[in-house]
A and B are shown apart, each in its own frame.
Chain A
Amino acid sequence: MLIVDALDVDINGTPILRDIGLEIKTGEIIGLIGRNGAGKTTFLRSVMGLLPINSGKIDFDDHALHSLPGHRRAHLRIGYMPEDRRLVPEMTAEENILLPVWSTNIDGYEDRLNWIYKIIPECEKFRTMAANSLSGGQQKLVALGRALMVGHKLLLLDEPTEGIAPVLAQRMGEILASLKKEGVSIIIAESNDAHVANVIDRTYVIERGSIVSN
């Protein structure tokens, strides 16, 4: 469903990604594992259209993603959870989760919201709380909920278990395992696969901007 071919990306003239090739099939969960600075975030951002690419192709179903503006991804049902959460601080947890609904006019979003609350009951617990009153780990769960709201087909998760309490990291692993049963395709970028090893179908290892093994 997502095929990335010969992707090259520079940031301010410095080559960050070189000749990246990657493929994910429907319902598959793949891990993109690499150290800090290997290019994981740059790769996810390139797929999301948040960074201009130099050359290469990113195809998603029948769409050439590399020629579409960034904001069209949500309309194609691709959800993204950035590493640093990026919730809107003055909105409640639920409003944050619903933000992409307002832009993409998803039909039957109430069912989707209830489904998210079923998979991540924590989100329902703090639905009326302002995002900036939640802990870092709790915010990550809300950010995951927000990514799930549009991510019917594909989810890109940037270090979902990084920098949060071990209990929450383990919880995140459980949530991802339950998503596996739902048939969503997921790319998980992590520096190590400690908490996610049991949910990942295949692993790509990225080093200094290139895929070294899969």
Chain B
Amino acid sequence: MLRDTTSKVVLFGGIAIILLGAIMPNWIVNQLMFGFSRALAILGLLVLWRTGLVSFGHAFYFGLGAYTVAIVDIQLGVTDVFVRLFGGAIIAGIAGFIIGFIMRNYRDIFFAMLNTAISMVLYGIIVKTESLGSTDGFAISLPTIFGIAPETKYPLFIIITMIAMISALLINFYLKTTVGRLTTPIRDNEIRVEYLGFSVAHAIHLKYTISAVLAGGAGALMAMSLGQVDPDSMINWTVSGELVFITILSGPGNVIAPFIGSLVFEVLRTYAFELAPQAWQLIVGATFLTVIFFLPGGIWSLIAKLGRKKS
């Protein structure tokens, strides 16, 4: 499972980042936490994208994960980082599994927009419900780790990086298994997969559930990193759009791509905002167009090209 180059890079790269985190300034640690949290959701979208499916509504699962953290914190007083994280991922996973029965029958624009519709239903419910925080959302208490309340954000950073590493390794492994390797054949020709004895509906259902679990985990980690949840930055359709944006920016080539893409996005957004607080979207949009025109395979295609030249 850990023999290929990608796994080694994930493993050693992750450990190096954890160690470097101890001496890096706070703002970089924060950027990495946001980037890696969001990257988990991108990893799920990558699995779907390889099958030719794009969801414009995964903020539904992202938000579900984030709001699970808020609700278990406020209603039940749960502060443990792992209970919150797995709670968010499991709730999103169950929702994804149930909704997957519908989604697995749709493709293309119908798949994309049906997901948007479902996410906007949740958005609407939360915005209109006072007890769910309405448009203001909730502040979340600092997470504890096995009962210990850390004084800095560094321990949370270590956990986020480790979860990111484990998820990348598992997805890398999954993409090499039989069902995983069928992602591209399904995209190219569904009928072929059927007469070879695989059920396309089952394969897509599994991928959809995996992407929901990852997006839920991402939302939970993001909520804990930010210390707050609100519908506009967690569930609104713009969040789904952002996730798709980063997926295209990253490229589907490798499980490491989402992590690089997410970090590039965090940095890009931070600097764009600093440079033009009123028109930062203009800079992000221009970057998006540049990537689509010149790097249709995303940032990863650039890295893959460099790698090929070296060898």
Partner-B contacts on A (CB < 8 A): 48-50, 69-71, 73-75, 80, 82, 86, 88, 90-91, 99-100, 102-104, 146, 150
Q: Is B194 an interface residue (CB 8 A)?
A: yes
Q: Of the candidates B178, B184, B191, B194, which one forms a contact with A90 in the assembled complex, judged by CB atoms under 8 Å apart?
A: B184
Is A74's CB under 8 angstroms from B199's CB?
no
* New A-B contacts (9) at CB < 8 Å, excluding given A50-B195, A88-B184, A103-B198: A50-B194, A70-B191, A70-B195, A71-B193, A71-B200, A91-B181, A100-B196, A103-B196, A104-B197
**Contact of A74 with B196 at beta-carbon distance under 8 Å, contacts A50-B191, A103-B178 already known:** yes
A-B contact pairs, 17 of them (CB 8 A): A49-B194, A50-B195, A69-B199, A71-B194, A71-B195, A71-B196, A73-B197, A74-B195, A74-B197, A82-B195, A86-B192, A91-B181, A100-B197, A102-B178, A103-B197, A103-B198, A104-B197
Q: Is B152 an interface residue (CB 8 A)?
A: no
Return the CB mask of B164-206 against A: 1 if under 8 Å, else 0: 0000000000000010010011001101111111111000000
Q: How far is the CB of A48 from chain B (nearest CB, A)?
A: 5
Residues of B within 8 A of A75 (CB): 197
**Contact of A71 with B192 at beta-carbon distance under 8 Å, contacts A90-B184, A102-B178, A103-B178 already known:** no
What's the Cα separation between A90 and B194 when bound, in Å?
A: 18
Q: How far is the CB of A54 from chain B (nearest CB, A)?
A: 19
What's the Cα separation between A150 and B193 when bound, in Å?
A: 14
Is B178's CB under 8 angstroms from A88's CB?
no
Q: How far is the CB of B304 from chain A (nearest CB, A)?
A: 15
Give chain B interface residues in 186-229, CB to chain A under 8 Å: 188-189, 191-200
**Contact of A86 with B189 at beta-carbon distance under 8 Å, contacts A102-B178, A103-B178 already known:** yes
Q: How far is the CB of A77 from chain B (nearest CB, A)?
A: 10
Residues of A within 8 A of B196 (CB): 71, 74, 99-100, 103, 146, 150
**Contact of A150 with B197 at beta-carbon distance under 8 Å, contacts A90-B184, A102-B178 already known:** yes
Is B197's CB under 8 angstroms from A48's CB?
no
What's the Cα separation between A103 and B192 when bound, in Å?
A: 13
What's the Cα separation between A206 and B74 when bound, in Å?
A: 71
Q: How far is the CB of B294 from chain A (nearest CB, A)?
A: 25
What's the Cα separation between A103 and B197 when bound, in Å?
A: 6
Is B185's CB under 8 angstroms from A88's CB?
yes
What's the Cα separation between A73 and B192 when bound, in Å?
A: 12
